[in-house]
Structures are given as C-alpha cells and as structure tokens.
Amino acid sequence: MGDAEQISVGIVGASGYGGVQLVRLLQDHPNVKIVYLGGDSSAGKPFYTLYPHLSHCIDLMVEPIDLDHIASQCQVVFLSLPNGLALKMAPQLLEKGCKVLDLSADYRFFNLDTYKKWYGSERDDKEIASTAVYGLPELYRDRISQAQLIGCPGCYVTASLLALSPLLKQGLIATDSAIIDAKSGTSGGGRQAKTNLLHSEADNAISAYGVAGHHRHTPEIEQICSDLAGHDLKVQFTPHLIPMARGILATVYATLRDPGLVREDLITIYTAFYRNSPWVKVLPSGTYPQTKWASGTNLCYLGVEVDQRTNRVIVMSVIDNLIKGQAGQGVQCLNLMMGWDETLGLPKLSFYP
C-alpha cells in the first residue's frame, strides 16, 4: 500500500502517555498517516517539545481541539483524554463520518448507570453509547470489525480478562471465586504530577490501593466476566503499585468446579481458546511469565497452574500496560475495523533485558 492509500488519523489528547504511545505506534504503522495531534494545555507547541526524543520523526504541532477541523482532516480519531470528555466529542465526530476509538472509560460500559455510579457523569449520548463496542479483540473480534465507535478496555481489565475468559466461557470455576491480585508499574498513573507517583515515594515500595472493590476497574471486569459467564458474578480485584515504569502482572486465583482437572488440561483449554488470537501466548507447563517479556510489545503472556491440594487454578497474565493495556490494543482494534491483519504495525519483540 503506497502513501496515497494510507488512512488519515488524528489523536486528541496527544500529550499524555496514551498519546505518545499512539504516536509511537502509528508512526511505524504502514497503513496510517498521523495528520492531527490535539491538546489543550500544549496547543500551539510542536509535539516534540513534549517528547524531544521524537523530534527526528514527527514535526506536527499540537493543535487546539476543534471537532469540525478534526473531522475534516481525519478518517479515524483516537481520543486519549481524562474520563468524561470523550462522551462530549465522540457523537459529533461519528456524525461527521469519523471512526472513533476512545481510550477512556466513557464507552466501556453496557449499562450507563454503572458508568454514572463510578465516574459521575450524566449522559446525553445514550443512543450513541449503545453502539459502542468493547475493544477487547480476543473476546469481541467480530463486533469490533463492524464498529464505528470503540471503548478500549482499561489496562488492569485487559490483563485480568485474558486470564479469566477461558475459565468463564467454559464454566470451569465456582461463581464469585475469582480473586485478581494485580500489580502495575507507575506509568499506569499517567504523566500528571502526583505526590504518590514521585520516584522518591514509589521506588523501593509496594502498596495496595482501591482495595475491596473500590477501584473503578472492578465494575468493568465484572461486566465482561458476567457477559462471558452468562450470569452476574463478582470478582475480588486488588491493584498494587510496584516500583517499575511499565507492565502489569495479574495473578488470578479461582476454584475449579471439577477437581479432576490438572495443569495440562487447562493449558490445552487455554491454547485452544486463543488459537486465533495472535497477541496472546499461552506458556508451556511450568513456565511463568515475567512482565519484561511483554515490555514494548502488544503481547499478553499467560502462565497456567493448578494446585491439586487446594483445587484452585492460578493464572498469571502479563502485558505492557501502555500497549496491550492501552494504545496497542487501540491499534489492534483499528486494524480490525479497517479489515487489516490484526497484527499490522504492532511490535511483537521486546528488548530484553
């Protein structure tokens, strides 16, 4: 495909980590040309003043956010903004003919009451919201292919759901038995300066937060788990902040319904479930994933273990929180929406160590 055939893409909210990951990934994407970068606080500056290391590959200015202008320039728009802003922009952009991929929470919920409870905003865009597709390709690949509006999943949610989906889909675990103990690098907190995210505070330290169902990713995980299981269920989700910049490990525990299942059975089931999912790698028996393996890639590595003493399955899931957990997953959805190969333009080889 020559340059003439590249699609035009814009990114609204280009200055944060989601934005810079999108720029990074889309610069390397053969079928995409970035034509617009938008932001409020940095409007009027060259993008490379925010990220000087990219000065050799991108010379776009950050522009003010003007929806008419954006729609006139872009076939596809990524929204990478704080929660509550995309819902004001997506309807107009869609109406003007853009495809929209939103990285915030605004279009993740099937039920807007849940959204309101956790995120606070009233919604005027209910009809539009009902057309949004949840952007986890491993579960909703077909719908994503047909969608005009994607609500991309949260980072913790992605790691958790890829670990749990085969179990839930097949009805292998006891209802409400799932416990997700998740550990995230600090970039998950974004580029806004917050005291608890300072290097001097976060280095050499680990702590839990949002314990006992108080993290916003809990209802999002439960929504999709319930969809997979075919009935409402609850999960225990505990996020932790650990001293590394990138990566998430979710360690997931659940009680097996069938005490006869062994590790190799589960690995077979997982391997089959993800047979057509190029971005999920089920590890061989006895191998457990490390976050650094996924760093800088769109991959999810899954390690599966069974404890026959306790009759529990333990699944370890690692992703790069900013790629498979955010921008890369958005690009994966874009590939599907455009009818391209799901792997197009996305990194699959980490630099190690």
Q: Min. distance of Cβ 300 from a copy of itself in angstroms?
A: 12
Q: Min. distance of Cβ 346 from a copy of itself in angstroms?
A: 12
Q: Could you say whether residue 316 binds a copy of itself (CB under 8 A)?
A: yes
Give the residue, chosen from 112, 156, 301, 325, that forms a contact with a copy of itself under the rule CB under 8 A.
301
At position 126, the amino acid (one-letter code) is: K
- Determine the 3-state secondary structure of 88 from DSSP: helix
Q: Could you say whether residue 331 binds a copy of itself (CB under 8 A)?
A: no
Complex with a copy of itself: residue 123 or 240, whichever CB lies closer: 240
Give the residue, chosen from 152, 168, 306, 331, that forms a contact with a copy of itself under the rule CB under 8 A.
306
Residues classed as catalytic: 155
Write the binding mask 191 to 230 for a copy of itself: x where contact by CB under 8 A, - elsewhere: xxxxx-xxxxxxxxxxxxx-xxx-----------------
Using CB under 8 A as the binding rule, the residues of this chain from 239 to 278 that contact a copy of itself are: 240, 242-247, 249, 251, 253
Using CB under 8 A as the binding rule, the residues of this chain from 152 to 171 that contact a copy of itself are: none
Complex with a copy of itself: residue 165 or 238, whichever CB lies closer: 238
Complex with a copy of itself: residue 126 or 199, whichever CB lies closer: 199
Phi, psi (degrees; rounded to nearest 5) at 16: -85, -175
C-beta separation of 36 from 74 below 8 A: yes
C-beta separation of 29 from 1 below 8 A: no
Q: Min. distance of Cβ 78 from a copy of itself in angstroms?
A: 17
**C-alpha span between 141 and 167 (Å, rounded):** 19
Q: Min. distance of Cβ 120 from a copy of itself in angstroms?
A: 20
Which residues are within 8 A (CB) of 214 and not within 5 positions of it... i.e. 6 or more apart?
A: none
Give the residue, chosen from 72, 131, 268, 287, that forms a contact with a copy of itself under the rule CB under 8 A.
287
**C-alpha span between 123 and 56 (Å, rounded):** 42
Complex with a copy of itself: residue 146 or 204, whichever CB lies closer: 204
Complex with a copy of itself: residue 91 or 296, whichever CB lies closer: 296
Q: Min. distance of Cβ 123 from a copy of itself in angstroms?
A: 25
Using CB under 8 A as the binding rule, the residues of this chain from 132 to 151 that contact a copy of itself are: none
C-beta separation of 247 from 326 below 8 A: no
Longest alpha-carbon distance in the chain = 63
149 has which bridge partners? 100
Using CB under 8 A as the binding rule, the residues of this chain from 72 to 131 that contact a copy of itself are: none
- Determine the 3-state secondary structure of 7 from DSSP: strand
Exposed, middle or buried, 11 (CB in 10 Å: 0-12/13-18/19+)?
buried
Q: Could you say whether residue 351 binds a copy of itself (CB under 8 A)?
A: yes
63 has which bridge partners? 38
Using CB under 8 A as the binding rule, the residues of this chain from 7 to 66 that contact a copy of itself are: 17, 20-21, 24, 27-28, 51-57
Query: Which residue, among 321, 295, 331, 276, has the nearest Cα to 30 in the 3D structure?
Result: 331
- Determine the 3-state secondary structure of 285 from DSSP: coil
